[in-house]
Amino acid sequence: MAAKAIPEPTTILGVLFIGGLGTILNRQRTVAG
């Protein structure tokens, strides 16, 4: 989790989006691997 709270909605959405992709990719790796 980010220690600093960023008021920019786009930044928060970006972090959540990237985090979501990372989680999905990790799950796919686990299932495939």
Integer Cα distance of 9 and 20 in angstroms = 16
Could you list the mean pLDDT of each consecutive 10-residue stretch along the chain, which spans 33 residues? 66 88 88 70
Q: What is the DSSP letter of 7?
A: -
pLDDT at 29: 83
pLDDT at 8: 77
pLDDT at 6: 59
Which pair of tokens denotes residue 17? Answer: 């989006």
pLDDT at 33: 61
pLDDT at 23: 92
Its pTM surpasses 0.75 = no
Q: What is the DSSP letter of 5?
A: P
